[in-house]
Structure 1
């Protein structure tokens, strides 16, 4: 069986070593919650939805201030 995943953009999240592991785990859980909330509010849409980045970036930036991670948005084929 073959599956073709469309080209899309992804958040690439990096917690620097200077961030406490417990705080990084808490931040990661909060990021996962953004994804779950997005699915619920967009009728099950996934991270592959065309507007996922634009819809979620304000919330990701807010968490970035709180948890100190770095992120980029990369185009994935």
Structure 2
């Protein structure tokens, strides 16, 4: 599920974020067109909220959408 596969991006234009609740850092980097190092910097500085699950750092889709919209508030994203 979180392997090296490309994220599934819908072609209907409803959302550019594939529907999952939590995204690993490498996938967040790909979705935001940033390097993994930059995503880690955003997490470390608190600009992108994340949570640790086991040994993994994951970003909730609402926080990803909020960062992408640059409003800082969680945005509603069509499923």
Bigger CA radius of gyration: 1
User: Quick one: higher RCO (CA 8 Å, sep 6+), 1 or 2?
Assistant: 1
Please tell me the TM-score bracket, short chain as reference: under 0.3
Q: Which has the higher helix share?
A: 1
TM-score in terms of structure 1 length: 0.28
